[in-house]
Amino acid sequence: MNETARNGEHLFGVRQSLTGRFWTLPQGDEALVRRLAARLDGNDLLARLLAQRGVSPDTVDSFLAPTLRTEFPDPSGFADMDKAAGLVLEALLDGRNVTVFADYDVDGGTSSATLAGYFRAWGRQLGLYVPDRLAEGYGPSPEAFRHLKETGSDLVITVDCGAAATRALAEARRIDLPVIVIDHHLMQGEEIPETAALVNPNRSDCESGCGHLAAAGVVFVFVAAVNRLARQRGVAPPGGLPDLMRWLDLCALGTLCDMAPLRGVNRAFVRQGLKVMARGDNAGLRALADVAGLGTIDSVYHATFVLGPRLNAGGRVGDPWLAAKLLAADDRGEAIALAERLHALNDERKALEQDILESASAQAERQIGDDPDCGILVASGEGWHPGVIGIVAGRLKDRFHLPAIVIGWGDGLGPVAKGSARSVTGVNIGDAIAAAAKEGVILSGGGHAMAGGLSCEPGQIPALRDWMAAHMADFAEERAAARELLVDTLVAPGAASLELCELIDRIGPFGAGARQPVLGFRDLRIVNARRIGTHHLKFQAEDETGRLECLAWRMADEPLGVAALSGERLHLAGRLKADEWNGRRRVQLEVIDAALVE
Structural domain spans, the chain: 11-25+487-596, 29-63, 69-345, 371-481
Residue of 43, 457, 44, 450 lying closest to 260 (CA atoms): 450
CB 184 within 8 A of CB 214: yes
Residue of 145, 131, 151 lying closest to 319 (CA atoms): 131
Mean pLDDT of 292-313: 90
Predicted confidence at residue 4, as pLDDT, reads 42
Mean pLDDT of 280-300: 92
Q: Please give the CATH topology (third level) of the domain spanning 69-345.
A: inorganic pyrophosphatase (n-terminal core) (3.90.1640)
* pLDDT(8) > 70: no
CB 311 within 8 A of CB 349: no
Pairwise CA distance, residues 458 & 478, whole Å: 30
Q: How many CB atoms lie within 10 A of CB 377?
A: 26
The four Cα atoms 266, 272, 275, 279 give a dihedral, to 10 degrees, of -100
Mean pLDDT of 540-546: 96
Query: pTM for this one?
Result: 0.90
Instruction: Using CB atoms within 10 Å of the CB of residue 315, give its burial: 0 to 12 exposed, 13 to 18 middle, 19+ buried.
Output: buried
Predicted confidence at residue 412, as pLDDT, reads 66
Pairwise CA distance, residues 329 & 283, whole Å: 6
pLDDT in tens, 183-224: 998 887 778 999 999 999 999 999 999 999 999 999 999 999
Any bridge partners for residue 530, and if so which?
Answer: 538
Any bridge partners for residue 198, and if so which?
Answer: 181
* pLDDT(29) > 70: yes
* pLDDT(527) > 80: yes
Q: How does residue 1 score in pLDDT terms, banded at 50, 70 and 90?
A: very low
Pairwise CA distance, residues 342 & 353, whole Å: 16
Residue range 11-25+487-596, CATH number: 2.40.50.460
Percent of the chain with pLDDT over 70: 98
CB 282 within 8 A of CB 331: no
- DSSP letter string, 233-297: HT---TT-S--GGGGHHHHHHHHHHTT----THHHHHHHHHHHHHHHT-SHHHHHHHHHTT-S--
DSSP-assigned letter for residue 311: H
437-442, Cβ contacts within 8 angstroms, sequence gap of 24 or more: 439/467, 441/467
CB 390 within 8 A of CB 450: no
Q: Beta strands 98-102 and 22-24: pairing type?
A: unpaired
Q: How does residue 3 score in pLDDT terms, banded at 50, 70 and 90?
A: very low
Pairwise CA distance, residues 560 & 568, whole Å: 10
The strand ranges marked E within 430-569 are 444-447, 451-456, 484-486, 489-490, 519-532, 536-543, 546-552
The rounded radius of gyration (Å) of the Cα atoms in the chain is: 25
pLDDT in tens, 464-500: 999 999 999 888 888 888 899 999 999 999 999 999 9
* pLDDT(339) > 60: yes
User: Residue 107 is which amino acid?
Assistant: D
* CA terminus-to-terminus distance, the chain: 20
CB 552 within 8 A of CB 535: no
Mean pLDDT of 533-541: 93
pLDDT in tens, 17-27: 999 999 999 88
Pairwise CA distance, residues 463 & 437, whole Å: 12
- Sign of the C-alpha dihedral, residues 343, 345, 351, 355? negative
Predicted confidence at residue 387, as pLDDT, reads 86
Domain 371-481, CATH among 3.40.640.10, 1.10.3210.50, 3.40.50.10330, 3.10.310.30: 3.10.310.30
Predicted confidence at residue 447, as pLDDT, reads 79
Q: Beta strands 451-456 and 417-422: pairing type?
A: antiparallel
